[in-house]
Structure 1
Amino acid sequence: MPNTPPSSAAPMPVQQRAWDTRTRILEAAVACLAEEGYAAATTSRVQSRSGVSRGSILHQFPSRDDLLIAAVQHLATARTADLDGQPERTVGDVDASIEALWDTLHGPLFAATLELWVAAKNNPGLAAALAPPEHDLGRIIRTAIADMFGPDLAAHERFGDLTSLLLTSMRGVALTYTFEPRDHRSDPNLDVWKRLARTYLP
């Protein structure tokens, strides 16, 4: 009996299918948060956008907040990977590093994260669940920023203070883009942040 070549439609391994399903769920949840807000990001809405059964969603994420927190962390991991890829063009270049850092505060991650932060203000359970992964993510982001600036600049005694100041300032300015959309690449604060960084890191 002749050998039959494997079918291109052969089913994926169970583990791969489960991972793909999880990714679809999380990406749909991020889109819900970013585009429709926390109140609209229900399990039913995520199910509709992802095309995944309600049972599959509840099997992996027992509660709605579990799902939404995991969704933001999923996208944050992807954005951190983007930061990790920046050093080739930014290492040792203060201006390029500032621009790359500012870019990370625009798009679905910041919008989705902001929705959870605001919701957590009046939701103690959500706040308690959100705090540990946010702290972990903060450490990851600071490490990625240090890699982006490069070892020489990151070793400067003022680098930690500068990073905290930049992140706080950039987040504050980025908030204004939620009600006044515009091209963030032409923001006048970019020049201010660059001058500040060059002053701190001579």
Structure 2
Amino acid sequence: MTESARPALPVQERSRETRRRILDAAVTCLADEGYSAATTSRIQQMAGVSRGSLLHQFPSREDLLVAAVQDLARRREGGIAEPEPGAPARDIDSSVGLMWESFQGPLFRAAMQLWVASPHSAELTAALKPRERELGRRIREVIAEVFGPAHAAHPDFDSLVAVINTSMRGVAMTYLFDPRPADDEPLLPVWRSIAHRILDASA
């Protein structure tokens, strides 16, 4: 069957494909161009869809960005390198390195744009808060699995993870205006040293 003779996709499948293209474009626009540039017109252009198709899926910019919040949360959770069942725990250095990796890439940059914008939009804030809380809970669970049960059982483990996560998030935000190789981050050995001082004491 030739390309032109292929049957058209069912309506529901076309609708899902259009929605996927729009959300992908929204995330890319947020990550690469910032919140102010993420207008419906710009996202429509990047997605390669008609104005009518975009408005059918998302009647307003707020509707689109709220959907982007939900999509980002799902994709960020899916990007967590959860260990395979039965896999051995990573060592402390590689576990801390994995935490740092989670703050790199377009999904984090897009989420950061939404965090900064949310205080100016009640609808965006209402959509963002529960998603980020659930995502944070899920990330903490995976981090505990990565470090392994012996380290996760340390009485100061949760506090350690919270402190390192908060520090990493703050440092990662500076990469938005000062791009540089993340592997060369001078605080990475400091975070590892802190983790060793606390967790090795229980070994």
Please indicate the TM-score interval, normalised by the length of the shorter structure: 0.7 to 0.9
After superposition, the Cα gap between the structure-2 partners of 1:152 and 1:52, relative to the gap in structure 1 and judged at 3 Å, is farther
CA contact (8 A) 2:70 2:131 kept: yes
Which consecutive residues of structure 2, in runs of 5 or more, have no partner in the other structure? none
After superposition, the Cα gap between the structure-2 partners of 1:52 and 1:197, relative to the gap in structure 1 and judged at 3 Å, is same
**Higher mean C-alpha displacement, 113-122 vs 161-170:** 113-122
CA contact (8 A) 1:83 1:145 kept: no
Amino acid in structure 2 at the alignment position of 1:64: R
The alignment status of 1:149 with 2:151, answered yes or no, reads no
**CA distances 1:14-37 after superposition (whole Å, capped 9, x unpaired):** 444333222211110011111111
Q: CA deviation at 1:56?
A: 2.9
What is the count of residue pairs matched by the alignment? Answer: 197
Q: CA deviation at 1:158?
A: 1.6
Amino acid in structure 1 at the alignment position of 2:166: T
Q: CA deviation at 1:74?
A: 2.1
Give secondary structure in 1 for the equivalent of 2:41.
helix
**CA distances 1:38-79 after superposition (whole Å, capped 9, x unpaired):** 111011111111012333333333331232232244234233
Q: Within 5 Å, give how 1:172-183 maps onto structure 2.
A: 172-183=170-181
Query: Matched residues, percent identical?
Result: 51
User: Which residue number in structure 1 is paired with residue 113 of structure 2?
Assistant: 115
Give secondary structure in 2 for the equivalent of 1:91.
coil
User: Which residue number in structure 2 is paired with residue 83 of structure 1?
Assistant: 80
CA contact (8 A) 2:157 2:199 kept: yes
TM-score, with length taken from structure 2: 0.84
CA contact (8 A) 2:69 2:128 kept: no
Q: Within 5 Å, give how 1:3-42 maps onto structure 2.
A: 9-42=6-39
Amino acid in structure 1 at the alignment position of 2:152: A
After superposition, the Cα gap between the structure-2 partners of 1:157 and 1:56, relative to the gap in structure 1 and judged at 3 Å, is farther
TM-score, with length taken from structure 1: 0.84
After superposition, the Cα gap between the structure-2 partners of 1:63 and 1:147, relative to the gap in structure 1 and judged at 3 Å, is farther
What's the Cα RMSD here? 2.5
Amino acid in structure 2 at the alignment position of 1:153: H
CA contact (8 A) 1:26 1:71 kept: yes
